[in-house]
Amino acid sequence: MKHKTVIVKNIARLMEAGESLMTRNAGMPGMGLLWGETGYGKTTAVTWYINQVNGIYVRAMATWTPSAMLETILEELGRPHSRRIHHMIKEIVAAMAQEGRVLFVDEADYIIENKKLTETLRDIHDLTGMPVILIGMSGIQRKLRGSKQLSGRMSQWVEFQKCDIADARKVADTLCEVAITDELLVHLHGKARGSMRLMVVGMGQIEMHANNRGIGQVTLDDWLSWDTTFFIGDAPE
Ligand SMILES: Nc1ncnc2c1ncn2[C@@H]1O[C@H](COP(=O)(O)OP(=O)(O)O)[C@@H](O)[C@H]1O
Ligand SMILES: [Mg+2]
């Protein structure tokens, strides 16, 4: 398998939302939310996108305090920490505004459960005018609607969708070193239930079995005759 980010429809959705946030009119709020089930490709999409727009990526942690969050953002900006919270905020605001950086916060479920973290991010957004995009698991969109501080500032809501067959084909053709027939792809797609992670794991398994047998194309009949299952180690359905 090749290691590459495939530009699937969810990534196009993220790009469109990012573009709208960066080119919005003055005075318009500039926060965004991206959510979806685990394995749908959120982190991969954001990691790819920050390289296109010189964004800052941080991953929230259960143990974050406002200072821990600010220190992490400063590290990503390559700026020194300080012990004083308000110094750190000033430094971040100056750097983001001068350099025109967009901030992405992954695993943002931890953020919105914490009032201080929520307010600190809102301050960064308000003071810099730069977009701040939160990434979280399904369900975060409902919790966020209950948070007045943030929901009023959200102007882009992007839900990551299930991987469809066309995306699955694109991923197979880009990443997989053996050919997978349409019939087998549809079979794998059904088992993966929309998860990009499971699609890629399954393609890796197909490729491994094909390589062991020295064949360059795998059909559904081949796969079924090998008496194996997709996603070993996964919890049963
Ligand atoms: N666009 C993509 N191109 C290639 N592989 C992808 C893509 N999106 C997801 N994947 C694969 O799926 C796995 C899980 O995706 P990830 O971004 O971690 O999902 P999430 O953050 O939504 O839980 C990645 O490790 C990668 O192998
Ligand atoms: Mg993730």
pTM given for the model: 0.95
In angstroms, the CA 24 to CA 102 distance is 13
Binned average pLDDT, 10 residues per bin, the chain of 237 residues? 97 98 93 97 98 96 97 96 94 95 97 94 95 97 88 95 98 98 97 96 97 97 92 64
Residues 6+ apart with CB under 8 A from 19: none
β-pairing, 217-218 vs 31-36, is: unpaired
CA of 61 to the centre of ligand 1 (A): 20
pLDDT of amino acid 236:
56
Question: Closest by alpha carbon to 205, among 190, 227, 235, 237?
Answer: 227
Domains of the chain, by residue range, sit at 9-159, 165-225
User: What residue owns the CA closest to ligand 1's atom 25?
Assistant: 197
Q: Is the CB of 195 under 6 A from ligand 1?
A: no
pLDDT of amino acid 227:
82
Homologous superfamily, domain 9-159: P-loop containing nucleotide triphosphate hydrolases (3.40.50.300)
CA of 146 to the centre of ligand 2 (A): 23
pLDDT of amino acid 27:
86
The ligand minimizing its distance to the Cα of 38 is 1
pLDDT of amino acid 26:
86
CA of 203 to the centre of ligand 2 (A): 20
The label of the residue with tokens 């003071």 reads: 127
